[in-house]
Structure 1
Amino acid sequence: MIVQVKIISIKAVTELPGYWSNDDFIQLLDKMSLPDADKLKPEELKDLLHMAITDFEPEEAAEIILTYKLGDKLTPGQIQTIAHDMTDEKVAETYADPSFHYDLFNINQLLFKAFKGKFPNTEASVIVLEMTSNEDIEVNREVLTKALAQSLSERSIIQRLYEDQVTGKADFDDAEKIIWLYHTKGENAYEIITSRYWIDKEDIENGEYEADILFFEGED
């Protein structure tokens, strides 16, 4: 499938609005022994949570938040390991299973801002592109990742780790984990959110190009 791609913009951000809700803040404050936070004004919740977080040691605070967000997906032992590693590693980039990177990014940045730098700063990339084709396109994470991959230099992480996948020689299940969020921004335009680890502005070599999207057809 041939598509025409034009990258409109790409920027690095350290926070993704909408991940944390006021209810999340209230629940976390309760777990940090500050009940009745639901009686506070919504605009006060985040600042109070930052203060509550710093009443704990960094690793302990990380464990509380990790358990709240990921306790149904990770074992207590895994959570303890991640909490320990978070203070000096960018776990939102290095954790072995990329399906956790989106949550780990947001958890890390909450801790980073509360502790004012005791956790490594990590960044996400927000990309806006236009994509058109003479063929019918079913836009999904795999199509978007493969379209973007053809603008990236050979040194990029995606090109180095997923060469077979982006060229249609193997299944590309991890595309669902690489692109965290996407939505339309008008006709033929899309906003994509991913980790800067996966797609960095410095890795983009072409801003406007034709991409050939190839899909794995399996083995006979």
Structure 2
Amino acid sequence: MKYKINIEKVQNVDEIKEYWTNEDYIQLLKKFDFPDAEESDGENLRELLFMAISDFEPGEAAKLVLDYKLGEELSEGQIEQISNDMLIDTVCEEYPEMELQSRLFHVNQLLFKAYNGKFPSSSATIIHFTITPLNTDADSDLSKATLLRLLNDGLSDRNIVKRLFEEQMNGNAEFLEAENIIWDLQFLENGQYKIITSGNLIKKDEVIASEWEKEIEETGDDLDK
């Protein structure tokens, strides 16, 4: 199947604000002993949370937020270790379990904002692009694995995804990791896509082409929508 890829916009951001909902803020405020969180004005919840967080030591605050977001998947000891490591390193970029990296990023950046930089900052990359099928029978419902393979030719050879997953990006191996490399995938309209990924995995300046064509063969993970 052959496709034309057009990169519309690439952004590097230090936060995905819409990730956190008002319900998240309310539940976190309760964890930080803020009274009557449910009765607070929704527009002020984030600011109130930052005020509540500032009354706690950074390591203790990290444990509370980590427990809220990852308490069902991490042990108490793991949360303790990560809360300490987060103060000196961007754990979200290096954590070996890729399925946790996105949530660790959101936790890290919430704490980074709340403490005005006491936590090391990380970043996310947002890519807006259009994919146009050049075959009448080409699939328009594309998986994360397919999208990464289509983006491959537009990325610098320095890119860590290309280097770590060369066989998978070239379609020569199953690409299960794609599910966690792309944190969020949105199909907008008329072949337009928006993906969010780690700024460590795909840097803004590593997207070095704006338009190209690519032919790929369907594999098992391409068909697994």
Measured against the shorter chain, the TM-score band is over 0.9
The alpha carbon displacement at 1:137 in A equals 3.2
> Does structure 2 retain, via aligned residues, the 8 Å contact 1:166–1:214?
no
Give 4+ residue runs of structure 1 displaced > 3 Å after superposition.
214-218
Q: Structure 1: how far apart are the matches of 2:207 and 2:127?
A: 11
Quote how far apart the aligned CAs of 1:213 are.
2.7
* Sequence identity percentage: 42
Q: How many residues align?
A: 218
Structure 1's 104 and 91: CA in aligned 2 closer, same or farther, altered over 3 A?
A: same
Which residue does the alignment assign to 2:177?
174
- With normalisation by structure 1, the TM-score equals 0.94
Q: State the match for 2:191 in structure 1.
A: 188
Q: Which moved more, 1:148-157 or 1:207-216?
A: 207-216
CA distance in 2, matches of 1:191, 1:204: 14
Q: Which runs of 5+ in 1 are unaligned?
A: none
Report the equivalent of 1:159.
162
After TM superposition, the score normalised by the length of structure 2 is 0.92
Contact 1:167–1:214 at 8 Å: present in 2 too?
no
Query: What's the counterpart of residue 6 of structure 2?
Result: 6
Residue 15 of structure 2 corresponds to: 15
1:145 equivalent to 2:148? Answer: yes
Deviation at residue 25 of structure 1 after TM alignment? 1.0
1:215 Cα offset (Å)? 4.8
The separation in 1 between residues aligned to 2:27 and 2:177, in whole angstroms, is 31
CA distance in 1, matches of 2:4, 2:118: 43
Bigger shift: 42-51 or 129-138? 129-138
CA–CA distance in structure 2, aligned partners of residues 201 and 47 of structure 1:
30
- Say if 2:71 is the partner of 1:68: no
Residue 15 of structure 2 contacts residue 109 of structure 2 at CA under 8 Å; is this kept in 1? yes
CA distance in 1, matches of 2:32, 2:209: 48
The Cα of 1:216 is off from its aligned counterpart by: 4.9
